[in-house]
Structures are given as structure tokens and as C-alpha cells.
A and B are shown apart, each in its own frame.
Chain A
Amino acid sequence: MSDDFIIDDADRAIVEQLRLNGRATNQQIANTLGLTAATVSARIRRMEDADKLRVVAVSDFSAHGYNVLMEVAIEVDGRPAADVVEELVQFPEVFAAHLVTGRYDIDMLVVLRDFDELPGLFLEKFSKIEGIRSMVPAIAVDVIKYKFDVAPIEAREGE
């Protein structure tokens, strides 16, 4: 997608309103901003069609039963890191996994219902994967911020 898509003040104001309440009606947004509902609707549509905007529900980790979050860096040895990560992502506890530059080869976010699940995951599941030389965790004791309001937008499926 080329980046000649122009976003003006009205677009930004509409996005601002949607960030406050993604389910505000076009009419409510129009009233707040002094626009017409038709304009609001058309502006939203235009940004969505250009994959510049998605109005969505995000859910909290806890909505999925996850109360423990940790980052785990992995050093791989004797096997392509891409193969190791393919095995890791099969586990539902692996919430996110990336191949990274630097001292470690894989960086992942792991989620658990509680700490009781930790030994089984590390000792019985991850340890069976060939090529993992070491795993170094950083356990999140407090999440100050975790939102991706500005993020790459994938095209909608089936459109």
C-alpha cells in the first residue's frame, strides 16, 4: 500500500472519538464534532477500506484465563531457529513468538493460568524440543502498558 493516503483533521477527530468509544454511533460522533452522520460514516469507511483503521474489541489476558505473563528468550543450537519456533508456537501457552537479532535467537511471550503450570511447561513440553540450548525468562510482575493502538493493519480476509 502506498503512503499517499491523506488523513486530515476531521479524520483524526473521528479516530479520537472512536478511541474513547469504538461503539459510538455515527450520529453521536457527528454531534460531538459538528459533522453529519453521513460524513462520519464515509470517513470511517474510507480509512477502513485503505487498511488505515480498524475499530475492534480487544480482550484482556484474564478474559482468556491467563494471569501470568512472561517473556522468554531462547538460544538455539544445532538447528535452524525457524524450525524451533515452529514447534514452540504449537503450544497455546506461547502467546507470541518472534525470531530476533542479538544474543538470543527467539523471543516469546508465554501466558499461564497460574505458576503451577510452569514446571510442566518448561520441563515436560519445551525441553522435548530439539535445538533449544537455553531459555531465560523475565517474569512480568506488573504490566504498566500493553496496547497496540498504532499497529500494522492486515487486510481483511475474504475481501
Chain B
Amino acid sequence: MSAPQLDDLDRQLIELLARDARVSNRKIAVDLGVTEGTVRGRIKRLQQDGLISFTAITSFGLADSARMAFIGVQVNVNDVREVAAKIAEMSSVNAVMVTMGRFNVLAICLFNTLDHLLELASNQILALPGVHHVETSIAVKTAKYNARVVRITEADRLRADLSDEVA
């Protein structure tokens, strides 16, 4: 992956839009002291390069006490891709990566109740063909986290409607 060339203006834009993406180009332009055309062009380029994406984050159905869990999965080497893809389809799973280390797939999820986690880890994931061990650790306290930095996948990019812009 080539290192993207981001300048200060790009970084300011990202920071501003990470707080609220429904700010108009006009307001951003005034705040950052550039023209509306510059703002529009920069946003478009960042989106096309897959560096930013606009989304709606909701907390519907998620308890205030919702917790994060890390589920490490040991899978037969031949089944890794398929298992990772199946876990990624599960709605309460937020992140899935294929890893090298003490397991081959790592899933990160948010859950409301221990029953919910048990269902996910011990019933759904453990039942997938090729999976022989699941190891769960629950985050009891978060010391650092940035929910605004993610991996924008090719699929996300294809799904996105790149037409601008907020009036």
C-alpha cells in the first residue's frame, strides 16, 4: 500500500468531519479559510482514494452497558478465508481480521449480555466448519480507543454513494 500524501488541510478536514459529517461545504470553507471548491475537491479526492468514508453510527438496540469482546478463533488453515467471511456477516461482529499468531482469525464484537456473547462465540462461531477453538476475552475497561479510525474495504467503497454534498 502506498503512503498517501495528506497535508494539513486534509487532516483538518478529516478531524472536522469526524465530529459531524453534515456540516456544509460553505461552513467548512469559512472555518478553514479556503474556498468551497477546494473543500468539495478535497473531500471527493479523500473519498475516491478510500481514505475517508461517511457513515451513520447508531446505538439503537445497544445497551449503555454494552461491552467489547475479542474472540480469537483457531481454524484449519484451509478454511480460514471462508470462516473469516462468515464471521464478518454476523451482525454483532464489528471487526474481523485474518491473523498470524496464537489464532488465525480475530473477531471484535459488541454485546449487551453474556448470553448474547455466549450465543455468538460458543454457538455460532464455534459451530462453523473448520473451527476447532474459540477464546474470548471481555474488555472490562477501555484505556484508549478511537472509533473514527477504521479499515475502509473495497466493498465499502463500492457501496458508497459518492455524490456530494450537504446543503
List residues of chain A with CB under 8 Å of any chain B CB. Answer: 1, 3, 7, 15, 18-27, 44, 47, 51-65, 67, 69-71, 73, 82, 85-86, 88-89, 94-104, 107-108, 113, 136-153, 156
Q: Complex Cα distance A144/B159, Å?
A: 15
Complex-state Cα separation, A96 to B108, whole angstroms:
12
- Tell whether, in the assembled complex, residue B94 and residue A146 are in contact, meaning their CB atoms are under 8 Å apart: yes
Q: A60-B152, A138-B103 are in contact. Are A22 and B98 (CB under 8 A)?
A: no
Q: How far is the CB of B113 from chain A (nearest CB, A)?
A: 14
Asked, given contacts A55-B22, A59-B148, A142-B98, whether A65 binds B3 with beta carbons under 8 Å apart, the answer is yes
**Which one of B58, B141, B153 contacts A149 once the chains associate, using CB atoms below 8 Å?**
B58
Interchain CB contact under 8 A, B100 and A138: yes
CB contacts (< 8 Å) of A47 on chain B: these are: 58
Q: How far is the CB of A137 from chain B (nearest CB, A)?
A: 5
B41 within 8 A of A: no
CA distance A20 to B156 in the complex (A): 9
Q: What CA separation (Å) do A100 and B70 show in the bound complex?
A: 9
Residues in B whose Cβ lies below 8 Å from that of A113:
3
Residues of chain B having any CB pair with chain A under 8 Å: 1, 3-4, 6, 14, 17-22, 43, 46, 50-64, 66, 68, 70, 72, 84-85, 87-88, 91-103, 106, 110, 135-153, 156, 159-167
Contact present for B101 and A137 (CB under 8 Å): yes
- B56 touches which of A18, A26, A73, A89 (Cβ 8 Å): A18
Give the distance to chain A from B69, nearest Cβ to Cβ, in Å: 8
- What CA separation (Å) do A26 and B19 show in the bound complex? 19
> A156: which B residues are within 8 A, CB to CB?
19
Q: Which chain A residues lie closer than 8 Å to B148 at the CB level?
A: 56-59
- State the CA gap A138–B162 with chains docked (Å): 35
User: In terms of DSSP, what is the predominant structure of the interface of chain A?
Assistant: mixed
**C-alpha gap A85/B143 in the complex (Å):** 7
Evaluate whether A25 and B166 lie within 8 angstroms (CB atoms) in the complex, with A95-B146, A138-B72 already known. yes
A57 in contact with B53 given A64-B149, A98-B68 (CB within 8 Å):
yes
Q: Across the interface, do B149 and A100 meet the contact criterion of CB distance under 8 Å?
A: no
Is there an interface contact between B161 and A21, defined as CB atoms closer than 8 Å? yes
Measured in the bound complex, the distance between the Cα atoms of B150 and A61 in whole Å is 6
Cβ of A58 and Cβ of B141 under 8 Å apart? no
Neighbouring B residues of A69 by C-beta, 8 Å: 97, 151
Q: Given A54-B56, A145-B96, are A60 and B106 neighbors across the interface (CB < 8 Å)?
A: no
A137 to B99, CA, bound (A): 9
- 19 additional contacts, CB 8 Å, given A56-B148, A70-B99, A82-B143? A21-B160, A23-B22, A24-B163, A26-B167, A54-B57, A58-B150, A60-B149, A63-B51, A98-B141, A98-B142, A103-B137, A137-B101, A138-B101, A138-B103, A143-B95, A144-B88, A145-B88, A149-B55, A151-B62
Q: Which of B3, B138, B150, B164 contacts A148 (CB 8 A)?
A: B150
Pick the residue among A55, A89, A101, A138 that contacts B106 (CB under 8 A): A138
> Residues of A contacting B137 with CB < 8 Å?
73, 100-104, 107
